[in-house]
A and B are shown apart, each in its own frame.
Chain A
Amino acid sequence: MTLKALLKLTTAIGAYSLLAGCASVYQANQFDGFEKEITQGDLVKATNDAVDQADVDTKTGKPTDLLWTLQAGSLLRMEKDYKRSTEFFDASEDMMYKEDTKNASVSAASQVGSVLVNDTILPYKQTHFDGIMANTYKAMNFSALNDINNARIEWNRVDDRQRRAVEEYSKQIAEKKEQAEAERKKLAAQKTSGPAPDINASVKQSNAILARQGIDMNTWKPYAGYVNPFTTYMHGLYFLQNAQDRSDYQRAYESLKRAYALTGNKTVKADMDIARQVVNGFPPKKIRPRVWVIFENGLSAEKDEFRIDLPIVLSKQKIIYTGIALPKLVERQRAYQNLDVDGVKTTVVGDMDKIIKAEFKEEFTYILIKELARATLKTYAQQRMNKTNPTAGALMTAYQLATTSADIRSWTTLPKEFQVARIKRPANGSITLSAPGMIEPLNVEINKDSQFNIVYVKAVSAQQTPSIEIISI
């Protein structure tokens, strides 16, 4: 290798290492600082940070970073800035659409780059539950503003996203397999002589090691049909409370029935029974006035990076253990076990962690294959260079170290779970929320003339006063 070629290689490696290293470190710092702000109750700062990270285009006024747009949308909602929250979620939907319909050649070019570096340099690709929750929150935003017509549109979108999720899961699993096969072929093509590296053997051996390390996802099961039961429940509740005709009550009943089948929650069953009675002719105006308390509890599982030595099967005779960075899910705390609403306890109507785990589990096999392929490529390059030029080999080792990093991006402001309780509307229009560990009970004034009231509570941690919104119908 000439000095000029070595210089070029050094520059390229340096630039890529810097890019990857910066992206990974930046990513870790971003999430750490942001989480501290949320858990310590500095919501204003957290919101401003999220809005900054969402990278609003000064010409269009629209955010451009999908993940941080979602984070900002949910925080703006917590701060009751519903209009702006919806604007952010609207922009997030536009970005999701662009990501879904991205030109294949652009996507392929990004993938080429990411194989050489790591996934942190790729744009954030939304999960199914991201889309479903964005529309759920938008529907709630519109309801909070008494705009039931636009809320209906968002619930219809939720319906369609849930339908698509089932189809997409099976499609994506097939696509991921195809992509994994393509990675394997690409890898085989790297070897000019002798047997190709056996990625399947690498994956098989790695899975056994990961299971021994406690990374076992076999017990993670999705809700049937990959449905988010909280969203389905709220969909049913919306149509029960805002029905314009008989078919709306039928829709309410179908959604509540489905949510009950998924969760076995007694409050959901009681709501389902009301919907059934109305479908069978009970006059809606005679439904007794009630108050629903919806409780967003704690923070959802987030991704963290872990590094592990996994086998790269270069040939039957040659197996090298190399450091690989993978994402793992780390559960976070509930704020409270549950809320007490004038003597009635809230119970779980949707486990967000379960939903996140199910999607992560489907994704993980592909991430593992991709990481092993990436490590194999880099190990190969390093070995080849070592033979011909030890300096270049050493540089390649440094490059491999610097670029080994897992993609740990996820929507971290989602709750760990959703709970619900329902009580009769109190005559004095006041309800009290309490919980073991809550600094002091909260008195909430509802509209005592409304047939239905929803008290929406979000508590990130026990150290903070929960945020509360009231929707009166």
Chain B
Amino acid sequence: MIKKFIKPAVVACVMTLMAGCATQTTYVDPAQDKTVVMGLDYKDFNSAAKQAVTGIAKSPLMVHPQMAQGARYVISVSPIVNDTTQRIDTDQLTKKMRSELLKTGRFITTTAVTANGPEDAMTEKVRKLSSSKLINQATVKKNGTVIAPDFNLTGKIIQRNNKVDRNTQQVDYYFQLTLTNLEKGLAYYEDSIQIIKRGSNKSVSW
């Protein structure tokens, strides 16, 4: 009978020893990072943003007629709706997209206008300095100089979970993105970028 008590005790000791060996904190090289999680992480946002911007840049509709003269399309980026099961900050995606759009050299993003208010409120605030005695009025930015966007980017991240077999579940993420020509109200670019993951079905994926 005593033998039966020993088994759980040994297991408990092993567990205690294992708990003592805490994981060490290390740096991760993003280029070499092969760790995959069921949720969305920086690798997914980077990958989706790059795919989307490559798609936009490739589209013949997105070539400015005066591109050769240095003209650029101005794009506003609205907040992306998070329709997943995870508490993620979708700014991770929009920031990456803004940066990738700028890197192409063919687009400029505005921080003064988005569907939910400006990305940077200072464009508006600095104009209120025109009544300040403190400020050199010659340096105050004038009204009527801010550039309105030509296009607006909107999107939604949705998630679908499915059982593959008894032990495996599949999580499909769709980054649904639309770029609307604001003059015509027409979608000049639309895509649904998929990121598919498979993993344990023991518990929920978040």
Chain A interface residues (CB < 8 Å from chain B): 8-9, 12, 93, 96-97, 100-101, 105-106, 108-110, 112-113, 116, 131, 149-150, 152-153, 156-157, 160-161, 163-164, 167, 171, 244-245, 381
Min CB distance B156 to A, Å, is 8
Q: In the complex, which residues of chain B have a beta carbon less than 8 angstroms from the beta carbon of A110?
A: 8
Contact present for B4 and A157 (CB under 8 Å):
no
Contact present for A161 and B86 (CB under 8 Å):
no
| Residue from B1, B2, B8, B83 in contact with A156 in the complex, judged by beta carbons closer than 8 Å | B83
| Residue from A96, A108, A171 in contact with B166 in the complex, judged by beta carbons closer than 8 Å | A171
Interchain CA distance A105-B18 in the complex, whole Å: 13
Contact present for A153 and B2 (CB under 8 Å):
no
Interchain CA distance A152-B156 in the complex, whole Å: 13
| Residue from A12, A105, A161 in contact with B2 in the complex, judged by beta carbons closer than 8 Å | A12
Contact present for B159 and A156 (CB under 8 Å):
yes
Q: Does B64 contact A (CB under 8 A)?
A: no
Q: List 5 A-B contacts (CB under 8 A).
A: A93-B206, A100-B202, A153-B82, A153-B84, A153-B87
| Residue from A12, A109, A153, A161 in contact with B204 in the complex, judged by beta carbons closer than 8 Å | A161
Q: Does B203 contact A (CB under 8 A)?
A: yes
Q: In the complex, which residues of chain A have a beta carbon less than 8 angstroms from the beta carbon of B12?
A: 109
Contact present for A152 and B202 (CB under 8 Å):
no
Min CB distance B22 to A, Å, is 13
Chain B residue with the shortest CB-CB distance to A96: B203
Chain A residue with the shortest CB-CB distance to B14: A105
Contact present for A149 and B204 (CB under 8 Å):
no
Min CB distance A42 to B, Å, is 34
Interchain CA distance A113-B87 in the complex, whole Å: 38
B1, B156, B163, B200 — most chain A CB neighbours (10 Å): B1
Chain A residue with the shortest CB-CB distance to B205: A160
Contact present for A112 and B7 (CB under 8 Å):
yes
Contact present for A101 and B202 (CB under 8 Å):
yes
| Residue from A108, A156, A167 in contact with B163 in the complex, judged by beta carbons closer than 8 Å | A167
| Residue from A12, A100, A113, A244 in contact with B1 in the complex, judged by beta carbons closer than 8 Å | A12
Chain B residue with the shortest CB-CB distance to A98: B203
A8, A116, A156 — most chain B CB neighbours (10 Å): A156
When A97-B203, A101-B200 are in contact, do A106 and B15 touch as well, CB less than 8 Å?
yes
Q: In the complex, which residues of chain A have a beta carbon less than 8 angstroms from the beta carbon of B86?
A: 153
Q: Does B74 contact A (CB under 8 A)?
A: no
Chain A residue with the shortest CB-CB distance to B88: A153
Q: In the complex, which residues of chain B have a beta carbon less than 8 angstroms from the beta carbon of A97?
A: 203-204
A12, A108, A160 — most chain B CB neighbours (10 Å): A160
Interchain CA distance A163-B161 in the complex, whole Å: 9
When A109-B8, A160-B161 are in contact, do A8 and B203 touch as well, CB less than 8 Å?
no
Contact present for B205 and A8 (CB under 8 Å):
no
Q: Does B138 contact A (CB under 8 A)?
A: no
Chain A residue with the shortest CB-CB distance to B161: A160
Chain B, 75-96, CB within 8 A of any chain A CB: 81-87
Chain A residue with the shortest CB-CB distance to B87: A153
Chain B, 117-132, CB within 8 A of any chain A CB: none
Q: In the complex, given contacts A97-B204, A112-B4, A150-B87, what are 4 additional A-B residue pairs having Cβ atoms less than 8 angstroms apart?
A: A100-B202, A108-B11, A112-B7, A152-B83
Chain B residue with the shortest CB-CB distance to A100: B203
Q: In the complex, which residues of chain A have a beta carbon less than 8 angstroms from the beta carbon of B84?
A: 153, 156
Q: In the complex, which residues of chain B have a beta carbon less than 8 angstroms from the beta carbon of A245?
A: 156
Contact present for A153 and B15 (CB under 8 Å):
no
Chain A residue with the shortest CB-CB distance to B9: A109
Min CB distance A124 to B, Å, is 16
Q: Does B27 contact A (CB under 8 A)?
A: no
Contact present for A164 and B204 (CB under 8 Å):
yes
| Residue from B4, B81, B163, B206 in contact with A116 in the complex, judged by beta carbons closer than 8 Å | B4
Q: In the complex, which residues of chain B have a beta carbon less than 8 angstroms from the beta carbon of A156?
A: 83-85, 159
Chain B, 129-186, CB within 8 A of any chain A CB: 156, 159, 161, 163, 166
Contact present for A101 and B1 (CB under 8 Å):
no
Min CB distance B40 to A, Å, is 12
When A9-B1, A116-B4 are in contact, do A157 and B11 touch as well, CB less than 8 Å?
no
Chain B, 90-109, CB within 8 A of any chain A CB: none
Q: In the complex, which residues of chain B have a beta carbon less than 8 angstroms from the beta carbon of A381?
A: 1
Q: In the complex, which residues of chain A have a beta carbon less than 8 angstroms from the beta carbon of B2?
A: 8-9, 12
When A153-B85, A153-B86, A244-B81 are in contact, do A106 and B204 touch as well, CB less than 8 Å?
no
Min CB distance B163 to A, Å, is 6
Q: In the complex, which residues of chain A have a beta carbon less than 8 angstroms from the beta carbon of B11?
A: 105-106, 108-109
B2, B85, B166 — most chain A CB neighbours (10 Å): B85
Interchain CA distance A131-B203 in the complex, whole Å: 11
Q: In the complex, which residues of chain A have a beta carbon less than 8 angstroms from the beta carbon of B7?
A: 109, 112
Q: In the complex, which residues of chain A have a beta carbon less than 8 angstroms from the beta carbon of B200?
A: 101
Contact present for A101 and B85 (CB under 8 Å):
no
Min CB distance B96 to A, Å, is 20
Contact present for A160 and B203 (CB under 8 Å):
no
Min CB distance B174 to A, Å, is 11
Interchain CA distance A100-B167 in the complex, whole Å: 12
Interchain CA distance A12-B5 in the complex, whole Å: 9
Q: In the complex, which residues of chain A have a beta carbon less than 8 angstroms from the beta carbon of B8?
A: 109-110, 112-113
Chain B residue with the shortest CB-CB distance to A381: B1
Min CB distance A389 to B, Å, is 13
Contact present for A152 and B5 (CB under 8 Å):
no
Interchain CA distance A163-B100 in the complex, whole Å: 38
8 A-B pairs with least C-beta separation: A100-B203, A109-B11, A109-B8, A156-B85, A157-B85, A101-B202, A97-B203, A100-B202
